[in-house]
């Protein structure tokens, strides 16, 4: 089990989440912890709580809910390949996130692809013609 910093045997939770690339900044990690989106070994955690190898985490982020086992410690943010070695996601968590992604894809969308921003001249003419037909 890799320890990526020789001096690191225990690392602050907010630093570890940042180094493992779950959050873009340490302050975002701290806000998520304070909001109750991170649980360490089944308990609600505080940002300064230390993380040790073997700890279990449940992290709720914008891109899903993760259940993890800590496999490595680092208080430095490195490449994504190194960050992935810091934890192991449980198979149940991976399956649940894959199912949620599939569910999101299958939900029908009702937005017109051109409805972003201002209407084009052609679209505006079509809307005007449609509304004229509706009125009379």
The larger pLDDT score, comparing residue 29 to residue 107, is at 29
Model pLDDT for residues 54-81, shown as the tens digit of each residue:
999 999 998 889 999 999 999 899 999 9
Distance CA 102, CA 104 (A): 5
Q: Rounded to an integer, what distance in angstroms lies between the CA atom of residue 40 and that of residue 13?
A: 9
CA–CA gap between residue 54 and residue 105 (Å, rounded):
34
Confidence of residue 6 (pLDDT cuts 50, 70, 90): very low
Report which secondary-structure segment, H or E, holds 68.
Answer: strand 64-70
């Amino acid at each position: 089990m890799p320890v990526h910093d020789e001096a690191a045997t225990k690392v602050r939770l907010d630093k570890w989440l940042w180094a493992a690339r779950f959050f873009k900044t340490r302050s975002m990690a701290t806000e998520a912890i304070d909001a109750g989106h991170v649980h360490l070994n089944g308990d609600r955690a505080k940002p300064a709580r230390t993380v040790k190898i073997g700890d279990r985490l449940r992290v709720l982020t914008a891109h899903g809910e993760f259940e993890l086992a800590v496999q490595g410690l680092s208080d430095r943010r490195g490449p994504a390949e190194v960050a992935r070695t810091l934890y192991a996601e449980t198979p149940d968590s991976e399956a649940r996130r894959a199912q949620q992604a599939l569910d999101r894809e299958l939900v029908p969308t009702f937005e017109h692809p051109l409805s972003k921003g201002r209407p084009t001249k052609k679209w505006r003419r079509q809307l005007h013609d449609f509304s004229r037909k509706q009125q009379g």
